[in-house]
Structure 1
């Protein structure tokens, strides 16, 4: 059972304010101030007659206050899964107003900061009605098309109570997360459960391992809510020993965590990740630690249909059966997940399970992560590979053809010949979203033409008047095939082109090449190298100087002479 000194039932969160109870940190927010904020905002929503409000907050504590305000005022809270312009336009047509703490791509007057709506008498404190208007979440699934999922407050409250029973809190901790709070992993685990369990919410999403570690160490004891994508990439980037005894729990969801990653974290800091299986539609379903079977949460019923696909029912599905597309087996040891049935493709009359191909690729030491799918417009498989350190080393010292040849040989005998990908794209890491997903549009873009330039960071102005940007050389740069196949290096002409591209985008849009001066190449630039580019515009001489550096050592440099346009005679 939840610890009675810390636990507040979801329906009682706005009933008895307490200045002694923490709600959030950085900056600190106590429960009394939180309740006042929620009730004040509820009063503003009620005064405006709002029935549906869209919520988007970078600050998880502000999201919590807005969510409780909607519950108290009987307003349906609509939470999009992103705020890209198409999504905002879709949601905006379905709501009365937006509550947010950031700029959104919406018409003027549609968005409101919570403080701006606290211009009416606050609503009274008291018990929250589980039968009141609930909330709407969105999920894109694999197609990228937004889909509405409706949840009642009763469903959400039931799920939070189950989390508290499974993992009762015996001390107040800080809960930090690398995942967003706008979906059915982040919302319960980063917001609602900490709020009820007496933990302090770290307001900001911590996108990078180093940021998560640095922020955590400001607290004596803490919990992490992290994506498998982040945990796959941690490696040696953080000091696990420094987290020993302080990291009390680590929860992750979105995709299965490789057993080797779980084992590494457990041995490095004494805290084995707890995996959560579920979805926006189903809510929480099962949990596990390590490579064993999944254990159903209390209250969850499960079975399989004629095709072997898992169905689940629970109080947080309102007792209704939710059918999944996950192949599964239920046995005495628990639940075994066998991959997605909707990730089976047919090639030349043979059925190919994409998760099987991915698992075979990830068993090779060159591959840290893999995603396989159909190449756009063709009956061919394409593989996106996040290279391991060993894979990057093999690419730099043997070339693309040798690396892919090794992977083809590795797959032979493990999968059908038709299941060996025909298209290969090599990445430092697959850009999974915070939920560990990659939609079809993103896959198609990454499986398309090989890149011809890096992703440059926004240039920053330096004190000496120059501009500097940083970038990583793409492992699969198109120029490597000809320069040179067995020992890939960035050709000088590409480096000049990149300098021109950045200068035209940020410094001198009208820059035209009239000549190149003082060109020097001192070090090779290779796949995966992290480099900087410094640009300086000399207006008096109409020349652009550029310098590439690797590890602060000069790599190449030169000057581009601007060609002035002359009027025709």
Structure 2
């Protein structure tokens, strides 16, 4: 097994020049390569000036080099989980520069070719990082981290889990982004310090995981959102002997996902509980006992404050207690999580707990997952439900329709909530929309109730194909003014629906490249019942769409997508 070297000393102490650090498209990237890239990035920061820099890279090796280069230049790195225009605009007021693959005209640091550096140990007291909460129920908050917090947590991970990965070589594969604290720790900093080479790209598709596992021993860093979508049509049995360990964090792992992992991967994931604010708190591996309690990590203390878990930890910036929003029950061997503390909202002059309403929905036999969100409707607020249906709910939806299912859920809730606060709007999905961190943000859930989104049902859904039934009521805003003499659905609406629904149903690359073979053959008028067929071809980055009805084909074409490039 390779020597363990703390992040503070990684470059100053070093490793052999030919020591493997990462893999990219079959090429081994060595420690000499890593040191050269870190030196070039360090020179770029020093030439630019300023102290705070936002990093956004697709390639994990380049990201790691830019990160270490920044720290050795005495800079603090800001780590946005996404780099959309609104986020970039906010960051401009907080940072002195940007580095990486960032779209549009944002000025970027220029890597300095041929730069050399003398490395000295880093200070654990240095303000090294600013990460952001997922914003699951509000605006993401910035969280500063000192280098010592990160190195202590990485040391904890190594103490707990190094032996599970066995002797080197054991590559580290990941479905999660290094732009989030979980991915940063598990797929970048821990491998660097423990001498485990990592794959430079993410693996968003199960087919990619199987392909990489065929190359030899590896550990998989994943999220519940990925683990619950493992198809049983792939040859997991042929590669699971190479899978040393699976890790899951970022949210609760469902019982269905746990059973899928046991059956397909041959093992239960190591689940890690924590947050951007606290770092890692506890872990468990439910090999047999599905109700297994959480075990605190070394040095972590927990207590209850009004049923909510409080934490004191070396992963926090000081020795104070941090109050979480998670309800828990302490047990002799650890603790049990009981869900989030109630999210309270005042509606119709009455206080209603959105968390309690979600728990009540899950108590029915109709839904498997549920989120309740506040919506604006005219001058008042109403509640909306986003749900993934269970078998009973799917049958009811198919046999009796959405209005009947809506009424059934409202009736179920009426035993616990007053009529004036019951949900008025419902959306039923095949899976909750998640971001790169595996989180369902409130903004993404609220967007599902946009008036431009048509009523729809998913009739078929596989990894690369989906068939949907779409209604086109006259109330859709697309019909207004287009055209005055005859209301029709514009072609741009069809393309928008295809792309947005494609992103909900498949894991698509972020960047829109172009459209091909787009044809609009027949007009779509109000009250037309459409069938939309979507086909995703990963190898070509192609999302093919086709709108049909009893009258024939209305529109078709291909949307080409790719990764964001600098």
2:160 pairs with 155, 166, 177, which one? 166
Q: Give 1:379-398 correspondences, 5 Å limit.
A: 379-387=381-389, 391-392=393-394, 394-398=396-400
Deviation at 1:379, TM superposition (A): 4.7
In 2, distance between residues paired with 1:292 and 1:480? Answer: 52
Q: Give 1:267-286 correspondences, 5 Å limit.
A: 267-286=263-282
In 2, distance between residues paired with 1:559 and 1:312? Answer: 56
In 2, distance between residues paired with 1:375 and 1:275? Answer: 33
* 2:104 matches 1:105: yes
2:20 pairs with 22, 30, 37, which one? 22
Measured at CA, do residues 416 and 239 of structure 1 come closer, stay the same or move farther in structure 2, by a change above 3 Å? Answer: farther
Q: In the TM superposition, what whole-angstrom CA distance separates every residue of 1:315-358 from its partner, at most 9, and x where no partner exists?
A: 12132322222222323131222222252335567654434443
Measured at CA, do residues 434 and 84 of structure 1 come closer, stay the same or move farther in structure 2, by a change above 3 Å? Answer: same
2:81, 2:437 within 8 Å by CA — same for their partners in 1? no
Measured at CA, do residues 379 and 239 of structure 1 come closer, stay the same or move farther in structure 2, by a change above 3 Å? Answer: farther
Measured at CA, do residues 106 and 369 of structure 1 come closer, stay the same or move farther in structure 2, by a change above 3 Å? Answer: farther
Other-structure match for 2:202: 205
Deviation at 1:17, TM superposition (A): 3.0
1:277, 1:287 within 8 Å by CA — same for their partners in 2? yes
Measured at CA, do residues 200 and 453 of structure 1 come closer, stay the same or move farther in structure 2, by a change above 3 Å? Answer: farther
Instruction: Tell me the number of residue pairs that the alignment of Structure 1 and Structure 2 aligns.
Output: 500
In 1, distance between residues paired with 2:343 and 2:266? Answer: 35
Deviation at 1:182, TM superposition (A): 1.2
In 1, distance between residues paired with 2:534 and 2:372? Answer: 30
Deviation at 1:430, TM superposition (A): 1.7
1:454, 1:472 within 8 Å by CA — same for their partners in 2? no
1:451 pairs with 453, 458, 483, which one? 453
1:16, 1:126 within 8 Å by CA — same for their partners in 2? no
- Unaligned runs of 5+ residues in structure 1 are 456-469, 483-495, 518-523, 534-545, 561-569
Other-structure match for 1:463: none
Deviation at 1:80, TM superposition (A): 1.7
1:232, 1:261 within 8 Å by CA — same for their partners in 2? yes
In 2, distance between residues paired with 1:548 and 1:89? Answer: 37
In 2, distance between residues paired with 1:335 and 1:398? Answer: 43
2:60, 2:201 within 8 Å by CA — same for their partners in 1? yes
1:89, 1:106 within 8 Å by CA — same for their partners in 2? no
Deviation at 1:223, TM superposition (A): 1.7
1:44, 1:122 within 8 Å by CA — same for their partners in 2? no
1:123 pairs with 86, 92, 117, which one? 117
Deviation at 1:76, TM superposition (A): 1.2
Deviation at 1:78, TM superposition (A): 1.6
Other-structure match for 2:94: 94
Q: In the TM superposition, what whole-angstrom CA distance separates every residue of 1:93-152 from its partner, at most 9, and x where no partner exists?
A: 33232221x242343xx2135xx3236x42213433323341112225245424221101
Other-structure match for 2:193: 196
Deviation at 1:226, TM superposition (A): 1.6
In 2, distance between residues paired with 1:381 and 1:244? Answer: 44
2:228, 2:260 within 8 Å by CA — same for their partners in 1? no
Other-structure match for 1:314: 313
* 2:227 matches 1:231: yes
In 1, distance between residues paired with 2:456 and 2:417? Answer: 34
Please give the secondary structure, in 1, of the residue aligned with 2:123: coil
In 1, distance between residues paired with 2:180 and 2:247? Answer: 15
Other-structure match for 1:436: 438
Measured at CA, do residues 211 and 345 of structure 1 come closer, stay the same or move farther in structure 2, by a change above 3 Å? Answer: farther
In 2, distance between residues paired with 1:167 and 1:547? Answer: 48
Measured at CA, do residues 364 and 59 of structure 1 come closer, stay the same or move farther in structure 2, by a change above 3 Å? Answer: farther
In 2, distance between residues paired with 1:334 and 1:559? Answer: 57
Deviation at 1:303, TM superposition (A): 1.9
Measured at CA, do residues 427 and 297 of structure 1 come closer, stay the same or move farther in structure 2, by a change above 3 Å? Answer: same
Measured at CA, do residues 418 and 219 of structure 1 come closer, stay the same or move farther in structure 2, by a change above 3 Å? Answer: farther
* 2:249 matches 1:253: yes
Q: Which has the larger radius of gyration?
A: 1
In 2, distance between residues paired with 1:532 and 1:498? Answer: 22
Other-structure match for 2:484: none
Other-structure match for 2:259: 263
Measured at CA, do residues 50 and 205 of structure 1 come closer, stay the same or move farther in structure 2, by a change above 3 Å? Answer: same
Measured at CA, do residues 405 and 453 of structure 1 come closer, stay the same or move farther in structure 2, by a change above 3 Å? Answer: closer
Other-structure match for 2:483: none
Measured at CA, do residues 365 and 555 of structure 1 come closer, stay the same or move farther in structure 2, by a change above 3 Å? Answer: farther
Other-structure match for 1:153: 147
Measured at CA, do residues 293 and 508 of structure 1 come closer, stay the same or move farther in structure 2, by a change above 3 Å? Answer: closer
TM-score (norm 2): 0.76
2:20, 2:29 within 8 Å by CA — same for their partners in 1? yes
Please give the secondary structure, in 2, of the residue aligned with 1:230: helix
Please give the secondary structure, in 2, of the residue aligned with 1:447: coil
Q: In the TM superposition, what whole-angstrom CA distance separates every residue of 1:428-459 from its partner, at most 9, and x where no partner exists?
A: 2221112232333322221343723889xxxx
In 2, distance between residues paired with 1:532 and 1:183? Answer: 30
2:213, 2:243 within 8 Å by CA — same for their partners in 1? no
- Unaligned runs of 5+ residues in structure 2 are 458-463, 477-487, 497-513, 537-544, 557-566
